[in-house]
């Protein structure tokens, strides 16, 4: 089996990860990352929901808060998962805004916290530090998800909670 086929087989994990983040963002408001301060997550628009079946396999939702729209609820009820979303992560006084594609795990449009009025070298050092922090936190958050996803005893109740969230939206 080639690398491309292997990637395509595992692409569902990224969509499950994004959908799980959406669930956690609405249920808890934040997600715990080991050895880091909790990250508050907000789903911004646009969002792309995707299913492997049916006539309308994709739904693109835009606007003020597409994640809380009736159309998003309907898409989740139809079994669609979040494939791409613009997200806002924040902790204390820092905020990152970015788009994450669940299939490729590609990050685009990353906006890091503004370092304020500092000399150029200090400003660049801080921005690079925030990019590195973001990259590490995203990887660690995905590890948290995978730990949960690969542990059947933990994942089954999480799926029930997600299903309850979808039904009550």
Q: What is the DSSP letter of 114?
A: P
What's the pLDDT tens digit per position in 110-120?
999 988 888 98
Distance between CA atoms of 21 and 145, rounded to whole angstroms? 9
- Asked if residue 61 lies in contact with residue 47, where contact means CB atoms within 8 angstroms, the answer is yes
End-to-end Cα, the chain, rounded Å: 40
Q: What is the DSSP letter of 118?
A: -
Model pLDDT, residue 114: 87
Domains of the chain, by residue range, sit at 3-168
Model pLDDT, residue 47: 97
What's the pLDDT tens digit per position in 46-97?
999 998 776 668 889 998 889 999 999 999 999 999 999 999 999 887 899 9
Distance between CA atoms of 15 and 145, rounded to whole angstroms? 12
- Asked if residue 113 lies in contact with residue 130, where contact means CB atoms within 8 angstroms, the answer is yes
Question: In sequence order, what are the residues at sequence separation of 6 or more whose Cβ sits closer than 8 angstroms to the Cβ of residue 138?
Answer: 100, 107
Q: Which run of H or of E encompasses 93?
A: none
Model pLDDT, residue 10: 66
Tokens linked to 44: 């911004």
Model pLDDT, residue 12: 84
pLDDT confidence of 35, banded at 50, 70, 90? Answer: confident
Most confident of 2-6, 95-99, 165-169: 95-99
9: Cα within 13 Å, side-chain hemisphere: 6
Model pLDDT, residue 93: 79
Model pLDDT, residue 107: 97
Distance between CA atoms of 22 and 27, rounded to whole angstroms? 8
What's the pLDDT tens digit per position in 126-145?
999 999 999 999 999 999 99
Question: In sequence order, what are the residues at sequence separation of 6 or more whose Cβ sits closer than 8 angstroms to the Cβ of residue 65?
Answer: 43, 44, 45
* Cα 56–Cα 60–Cα 63 angle in degrees, nearest 5: 145
Model pLDDT, residue 52: 75
Helices (H), 28-119: 70-77
Place of tokens 């006084």: 93
């Amino acid at each position: 089996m080639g690398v491309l086929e292997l990637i395509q087989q595992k692409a569902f994990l990224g969509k499950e990860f994004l959908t799980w983040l959406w669930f956690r963002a609405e249920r808890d408001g934040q997600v715990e990352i080991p050895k880091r301060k909790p990250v508050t997550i907000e789903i911004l628009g646009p969002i792309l929901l995707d299913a492997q079946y049916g006539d309308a396999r994709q739904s693109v939702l835009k606007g003020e808060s597409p994640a809380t729209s009736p159309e998003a609820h309907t898409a989740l009820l139809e079994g669609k998962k979040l494939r791409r979303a613009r997200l806002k992560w924040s902790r204390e006084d820092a905020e990152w805004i970015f788009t994450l594609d669940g299939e490729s795990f590609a990050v685009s449009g990353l906006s890091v916290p503004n370092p304020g009025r500092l000399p150029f070298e200090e400003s660049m050092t801080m921005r690079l530090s925030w990019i590195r922090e973001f990259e590490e936190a995203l990887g660690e958050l995905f590890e948290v998800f995978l730990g949960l996803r690969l542990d059947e005893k933990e994942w089954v109740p999480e799926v029930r909670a997600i299903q309850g969230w979808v039904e009550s939206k």
